[in-house]
Copies of this chain bind each other. A is one copy, B any other.
Amino acid sequence: MTSLAATAALIGDPSRAAMLQALLPGEALTAGELARIAGIGAPAASAQLKALAEGGLVAVHAQGRHRWFRLGGEEVAQAIETLLGLAARPARRPWPHDEALRRGRLCWHHVAGRIGVGLHERLTGQGWLEPEGGGWVVTPRGEARLVALDVDLAAARRAPRFACDCMDWSERRPHLAGGLGRELATLLLRRKWLVRIEPAATDTLRRRRLHPTPEGLRALEAEFGLAA
């Protein structure tokens, strides 16, 4: 009953790893052959093979003056295969995000995720906002709609930046940031069109998701033309 670290360390040495890979097809090899494969001398190979045998990674059978080594079983081959798969992956992986987190979350007080980029797209595409100086300003039509929704535009204008883009790391498109983004998020949460979901037990990152309520889905479609 050895530990995870001890077992992995057995595979983690270049010489031993070369031996194990040579044994992966299932055939037995002698200590001398394995030494040659690993590129080390007979004494070193003997010590390494002893360690592998004590760890159960290889099985040994003495026959005359030869000692035959083979993998310690199906599970050993499987473990090595799995590790080879890991080793072959591109090293750097993007932070994996679960589906609920992709749908909606808070990003520095504004709505991010699919809902956030959807809002951004509708607000700009329907002429509520127009670009100016790297950010956005509200059009007369947009102001009327936002005021009707009870968005506190005065509070939004007191922020350092009124409205600007924030690249969404899960959608790779921008969502709305700045004071307007914060006020929009505040509104959606106050009206309970979106609710915070506590991280579940099966959860990964301890971030709350933003989940649309049934009423919220209807409202988002009615007010912004945002499809579910």
Contact = CB atoms under 8 A, between A and B. Distances in A.
Interface of A: 1-14, 16-18, 20-21, 26-28, 53-57, 59-61, 63, 68, 70, 72-73, 75-76, 78-80, 82-96, 202-207
Nearest to A24: B4
Given A205-B28, A205-B61, A56 B90 contact: yes
A5 B12 contact: yes
Contacts of A9: 8-9, 12-13
A25 B4 CA distance: 16
Given A8-B12, A95-B60, A26 B75 contact: no
B17 A8 contact: yes
A95 to B, nearest CB: 4
A93 B73 contact: yes
Contact of A28 (B16, B85, B204): B204
Contacts of A203: 26-27
21 contacts: A1-B87, A5-B11, A5-B14, A8-B9, A8-B10, A8-B17, A8-B83, A9-B12, A12-B12, A26-B202, A27-B203, A27-B204, A28-B205, A53-B92, A54-B91, A56-B92, A60-B95, A72-B96, A76-B86, A79-B83, A79-B85
